[in-house]
Structure 1
């Protein structure tokens, strides 16, 4: 029997603005990347999300990003390494306090949005994030794109690295994510998404946007909580994996 973790970006609502259906997603995924408050999420939302995740025995991860609420953390910021390290420490620490209040705790760290994509190649920022995780808790695993300098730097620093693939995002032939500004960057059909996940889990490959097949090793697969029809996608994935007798469980 195969095995895979499913994660989703949650806790991204802010005040009167609701994004996604976190409660429904928490019934389907095994790990929750809960916003750290810099790109999305207010304290009340984050606490509620941590409580809901704890009730379902879903692992809580700190999703850390640039200080960019207006841009939802999807704009690159040329922030100094020391400042980025401090920002990440702040986000992980704050979310861990909320998670502990809910009876759980932060069990891993995943960068968000533009930061996630930047540290595929931006070594200084990758090291800054690694330094932050090591400072908070060197036993925390980090999620990232296979082949990224972030995972390379994390491994060198002694952190556990967890390779991640995306169910609902298109890939370039080089194995990076197609920018959201380009056509076809997001996959919306739940059945197509489910088939992509099955291919990832069973063969470690996926079809890139140009039709070529690329290798994408992954211990966890992300379904974005803010993608339209996110719940339908996650449900289709779980149904497909259950039918193929592939066990869905947390990686940590």
Structure 2
């Protein structure tokens, strides 16, 4: 793995949630790397420039994207999935043929991107905890990508969390677990907050109890290195209160429920990939 300082110049086309997270990771972990970014609005670009970022807006500068990718060794496409192929086709004449193109868009295959430009392509699927440097990103190389290209993508996304290399056939499935997963966790916190309110706690206390319990439990899981089943067993005393609650949850067939939820997300990911 190369050191962050050895990353080539980088262009980020679109600085929404994921593009913005990558930019923040680069600024914190590889501050000497040249980064140029583009945004849709001039207001966003101006805010970035005020913070010391080289930025231009496509709404006021039709050459903004071409400017950003000129001389870049890595080009991160952070635009909406429906725009990926068109933007890549627009950039193809300006791109260095050796530049690595990285897409963080759901549903757009490496084959579709390779048809739009002759560059090596890596498809990446990060999740929103990347915004705080705790993301999980799945990466998969296209037909033109080598181990060196994948290592470069790994170095980039390790700046915002953990990286998993996998075949492209598994990228959509990964999106249903780590990609959508934060929403599942937030939903559970919502429901436990409501349960606490139903027991008489006011909203602020209920939220504090639910949120900090999840935060503390996951911190314990990470720090201990133990299997989650073992940690659950230690909390669940025989014939105790936790055993009763866990019994109710397991009686609801949570295993089958979570499997159905992941399968529903996967079905939709496949529809998106097919253009539906």
TM-score for the superposition, normalised by structure 1: 0.36
Structure (1 or 2) with the larger CA radius of gyration: 2
The structure richer in strand per residue is 1
Q: Which has the higher contact order (CA 8 A, sep 6+)?
A: 1
The structure richer in helix per residue is 2
